[in-house]
Amino acid sequence: MDSGDTAAPGGLKRSMPEADDNPPAAASRRKTPETLRSARWFAPDDLRAFGHRSRLMQMGYAPEDWAGRPVIGILNTWSDINPCHAHFKQRVEDVKRGVLQAGGFPLELPAHSVAETFVKPSTMLYRNFLAMEAEELLRSHPLDGAVLMGGCDKSTPALLMGAISAGYPCIYLPAGPMLRGNWQGKVLGSGSDAWKYWDERRAGKLTKAEWIGVEGGIARSHGTCMTMGTASTMTAIAETIGLTLPGASSIPAADVNHARMSAECGRRIVEMVWDDLTPARILSRASFENAIAVAMAMGCSTNAIIHLVAMARRAGFADLGLDDFDRASRVVPVIANIRPSGDTYLMEDFFYAGGLPGLMSRLGAHLKADALTVTGRTLGENIAGAKVFDDDVIRTPETAIYAEGALAVLRGNLAPSGCVIKPSACAPELLRHTGPALVFDDYPAMKAAIDDENLDVTAAHVLVLRNAGPQGGPGMPEWGMLPIPKKLLQQGVRDMVRISDARMSGTSYGACILHVAPESYIGGPLALVRNGDLISVDVAARSIRLELGDDELARRRAAWTAPAPRYERGYGWMYLKHIRQADEGCDFDFLETSFGAPVPEPAIY
C-alpha cells in the first residue's frame, strides 16, 4: 500500500496525503479562498453579492457555511421512476457528510434521471440533453467543483460529457450494480435472462406463472444491471479514465461500502478543488486508450464505442475512433467471466473477486500506467497491490474466456463508416456467414411478422432492421437484438445473424451487427437492401458486404426517397438537425470541443 494511504472498506484507498508525505503528482495546491470560483458570487462588497448572500441566509445558512469554503455541486439523477438510482436519495446525504468533513459547502442540484427502462422512445435521445444540462448547471451556478451521481446507462457518459466541457474539478459517483437475481434457485442476470426466458415463453416452454416468477426475481435491489451491460461497462470506463475513486465502479449498490465510498467522494472533491485538479489535467489520450483496453477485457457493451468516442471528442481527442477499438480488440483478451460474454458470473461476483482494480492488475502492458486520476496519483499507483481472489471470475490472459477483445468493427459496402459486433457473445459458427436478407423497414413491421409461423424464413437468413439509427429511430433505440422468429424458436434455433443501424442493450447477446453507418434513414446503404439479397459477414476479416455490383447499388440509390422527418418542432427537431452518426459518437455537432471557442465564465452584474 502506498505511503500515506489508509485502507478503506470495499477496497478503496483514502487518497489525501498527510502533511509530511510526498504529495502525489497533481497535488500542488494552487487555490486560495480568494481565488475560488464561488468567490465571484459571494465575496464582493456590492449589491449583487449582497443578494447572493442574503438569499443563502434566507435558506438558513450563515456566512460560516460558505465563506472561504469550496462550494461543491452534487448533481443528483435520482427520481421516483429510476430504480437504478433509488438509493441516491440516501447516498446524497453521505456525499454531503464527506464534503462537510473536508471543509466544503455542499449544494444538491437535481438533474434529468434518464431512467433506461421507462424513457421512450429511447434514453439515447436524451443523453445529450443531460450532457447539456450538466454543463450548464455547473457553469451557471456558484460552484467550485462537483460530484456527479449517475450509473443508469446514459447517465454516466452524459454527466461526464457535460462535466468535461464545463471544465471544473469533478468526481463521478457510480450507482453500483444491483444484487444477483434469483428464481426457483436459479441465478438470474439482468437483461440476458429476460431475453432467454422470453424466447422460452414464445416457444411455449414457459408458463405464465413461471414467467411472472422470473419477472419478480430478476431485479431484487436498487442499482444498475448486474450483468456486464452498458451501465457496468460505462462506470468501469469512468474509473479507468481516472474520474472515480479506485474500485468505486465495482461496489454493489446495496453494499454498505457504497455509502462509505459516497462520503469519500465528498471528501475528495474538496481536495481536488484546492488542487485545481480539473478534467483537462486528468484526461489524456492515454486515459481513453486505457478505457478501450479495459472495455475489451471486460466483455463490454457495444454501446461503449458510441459513448467513449463522444467523451473523447469532448476532451479534445477527436482522432479517437472505431479503428482504435478494433486494434485493441485484436490483442486484448476477454478476462472478465461475466455474463453475457461469460457464462456464469455477475457483477456481485466480480466485486468479491477483486473488482476492476483486480482486472486491471492483469492487463500489464495493455495499460498506460502513468495516466493521472482523481486521486492525484497515477492509474498504476492506484492499482499497485490490487489482487484477484477468484481466478475463474477474473481470468488471466492465458485462461481468457475469449482470445480477442469483446468487440469487432466491420466495414464494407453495407457499412462504409463501420458497424459493430460482439463476437464474444454470439454463436461461433455465425462469425462467417452468407445468407439471404429478410428486411423490415421499421420495428412495428418486424414485430408483426416475427411470430407468424408461416413466415418464409430459415436459420440461414439474415434479419435486417432499418430506420432505427440516430435519426431514424429516433434516438437509436436498443432494438438491435432482433427476436428470433417464433417458427425457428420452435425448431430449437437460438441465434442467427441480425443487422441494423440500431443499438442493443449491453445485457444482450447473439450475432447482432449494430450501429451500421451511415444509417439507412439518411440514405446509407442499408436503405438499399431488398429481400433475398445475399449478405456476407466475415468477422475475422472485419468485412460485411451486400453481394451486389456498384451499378445495381447506384440504380437503387437513384430510386430511393428520403422518409419524412420524425419531428417538426421542439427538442426532437433540434436533435435531428445536429445529431452525429454512430461512428462519430452521436453527440450534437455544436457540443463537440472542436465546434467553436470555449464558453467564457458567466458575467455577474
- pLDDT interval class at 351 (50, 70, 90): very high
| Mean pLDDT score, 466-474 | 97
Higher pLDDT, 14 or 319: 319
- pLDDT interval class at 23 (50, 70, 90): very low
pLDDT above 70: percentage of residues in the chain: 95
**What would the pLDDT profile of 333-350 be if each residue is shown by its tens digit?**
999 999 999 989 999 999
193, 259, 465 from 348: Cα distances, Å: 16, 16, 35
Distance from C-alpha of 328 to C-alpha of 120, rounded to nearest angstrom: 34
**What would the pLDDT profile of 190-203 be if each residue is shown by its tens digit?**
988 998 898 899 88
- Give pLDDT, residue 506: 81
- pLDDT interval class at 12 (50, 70, 90): low
- Give pLDDT, residue 108: 98
Per the CB < 8 A criterion, the answer to whether 2 and 384 are in contact is yes
- Give pLDDT, residue 26: 56
Q: Report domain extents, the chain.
A: 408-559
Cell of 52: 447572493
| Mean pLDDT score, 397-423 | 94
Beta bridge partners of 343: none
Distance from C-alpha of 395 to C-alpha of 413, rounded to nearest angstrom: 38
Question: DSSP label at 476?
Answer: -
Per the CB < 8 A criterion, the answer to whether 262 and 98 are in contact is yes
Distance from C-alpha of 349 to C-alpha of 374, rounded to nearest angstrom: 26
CATH, range 408-559: 3.50.30.80
pLDDT surpassing 90 at residue 497: yes
Q: Specify the pTM.
A: 0.94
- pLDDT interval class at 28 (50, 70, 90): low
Cell of 138: 455547473
Per the CB < 8 A criterion, the answer to whether 457 and 491 are in contact is no
pLDDT surpassing 60 at residue 27: no
140, 231, 432 from 168: Cα distances, Å: 12, 24, 48
- Give pLDDT, residue 6: 36
pLDDT surpassing 50 at residue 120: yes
Distance from C-alpha of 273 to C-alpha of 37, rounded to nearest angstrom: 10
Q: How much is the mean pLDDT over the chain?
A: 94
Distance from C-alpha of 282 to C-alpha of 376, rounded to nearest angstrom: 8
63, 96, 150, 603 from 67: Cα distances, Å: 5, 17, 29, 21
pLDDT surpassing 80 at residue 19: no
| Mean pLDDT score, 493-517 | 94
Identity of the residue numbered 551: D
- Give pLDDT, residue 396: 97
Nearest to residue 300, comparing CAs of 328, 275, 277? 328
- Give pLDDT, residue 343: 87
User: Do you know the residue count of the chain?
Assistant: 605
| Mean pLDDT score, 580-596 | 96
Nearest to residue 363, comparing CAs of 293, 285, 286, 288? 293
| Mean pLDDT score, 400-428 | 93
**What would the pLDDT profile of 257-310 be if each residue is shown by its tens digit?**
999 999 999 999 999 999 999 999 999 999 999 999 999 999 999 999 999 999
**What would the pLDDT profile of 368-390 be if each residue is shown by its tens digit?**
999 999 999 999 999 999 999 99
Determine whether 594 is exposed, middle or buried from the number of CB atoms within 10 Å of its CB (0-12, 13-18, 19+).
exposed
In this structure, the dihedral spanned by the alpha carbons of residues 301, 247, 283 and 175, taken in order and rounded to 10 degrees, is 60
Crossing angle of helices 285-298 and 322-329, in 10° steps, is 50
- pLDDT interval class at 154 (50, 70, 90): very high
Question: DSSP label at 205?
Answer: -
pLDDT surpassing 90 at residue 511: yes
Degrees (nearest 5) of the Cα angle 287, 290, 292?
Answer: 115
Higher pLDDT, 470 or 4: 470
Q: Which residues contact 229 (CB under 8 A, 6 or more apart)?
A: 153, 190, 191, 301, 505, 506, 507
Distance from C-alpha of 28 to C-alpha of 274, rounded to nearest angstrom: 9
- Give pLDDT, residue 379: 98
**What would the pLDDT profile of 536-554 be if each residue is shown by its tens digit?**
999 999 999 999 999 999 9
pLDDT surpassing 90 at residue 14: no
Cell of 545: 458486404
Distance from C-alpha of 129 to C-alpha of 148, rounded to nearest angstrom: 16
Beta bridge partners of 173: 149
| Mean pLDDT score, 238-265 | 98
Distance from C-alpha of 466 to C-alpha of 469, rounded to nearest angstrom: 8
Distance from C-alpha of 508 to C-alpha of 317, rounded to nearest angstrom: 30
- Give pLDDT, residue 195: 83
| Parallel, antiparallel or unpaired: strands 145-150 and 170-174 | parallel
pLDDT surpassing 60 at residue 4: no
- Give pLDDT, residue 425: 83
- Give pLDDT, residue 203: 87
Distance from C-alpha of 186 to C-alpha of 197, rounded to nearest angstrom: 12
| Mean pLDDT score, 146-163 | 97
| Mean pLDDT score, 544-565 | 96
pLDDT surpassing 50 at residue 492: yes
Cell of 435: 445468407
| Mean pLDDT score, 59-85 | 97
**What would the pLDDT profile of 313-322 be if each residue is shown by its tens digit?**
999 999 999 9
| Mean pLDDT score, 426-449 | 95
- Give pLDDT, residue 25: 53
- pLDDT interval class at 5 (50, 70, 90): very low
